[in-house]
Amino acid sequence: MPEPEKKPHIALVVGWLFLFLASVTTEFFTVRIFLQAIQIQSWPTAPGVVTRSNLETKFEGTITYQANIEYDFTIEGKSYSSSSIRTRGASNQHERDIAALVEKFPVGTAVKVYYNQQDPTESYLEAGVDFGNYIIIVSPIVFAVLFGTGFWGLMKTYRKFNTLGRIDGDSEQLDDLQTV
């Protein structure tokens, strides 16, 4: 006789729901970053110069690499400084990705600075989207589909048990269900 189906524990259902909602929320923020990266391409530019560029390694449970890049630029006679490189940030666990930024922007390098005309303190050295932006925007969608499907399956099973009661192979219980 096959093992009877068991009612999913409510904590499992709530856990899957939480993971699904977290994935959807993360997607909301990644879409904003993605759209901002596209929008920055249309911002005005100003010439600038890199004043600091180094690779920092941090250990807080895992190793994280950070590009510390600062640059100065001038707009209409007013000087600005910034350390924003790209919308998706300049730190992660992939040393090669971050080291490439430091190599691309050594101290003294002349750079094109994209700046927000309404607020020139908001500026970036890189505009547009790259492969990393696509990974960031697609990952939460994949997780939302996986967690949503898992949650839906658990809810389907949970509703089945709430409607029929638990079937554990007891012949009296099976007879009662057949007469309904």
Euclidean distance between CA atoms 75 and 43, whole angstroms: 13
The whole-number average pLDDT for the span 34-41 is: 84
Q: For residue range 134-148, what is the model confidence (pLDDT) as tens digits? A: 676 777 777 777 777
pLDDT of residue 170: 47
Domain ranges of the chain: 7-41+128-180, 43-126
The whole-number average pLDDT for the span 50-55 is: 95
Phi (first) and psi of residue 34, to 5 degrees: -60, -50
Question: What are the C-alpha distances in Å from 82 to residues 79, 120, 140?
Answer: 10, 10, 30
Residue 63 pLDDT greater than 80, yes or no: yes
Residue 122 pLDDT greater than 90, yes or no: yes
Q: For residue range 72-114, what is the model confidence (pLDDT) as tens digits? A: 999 999 999 999 988 776 667 778 888 889 999 999 999 999 9
Question: How far, in whole angstroms, is CA 74 from its chain's centroid?
Answer: 33
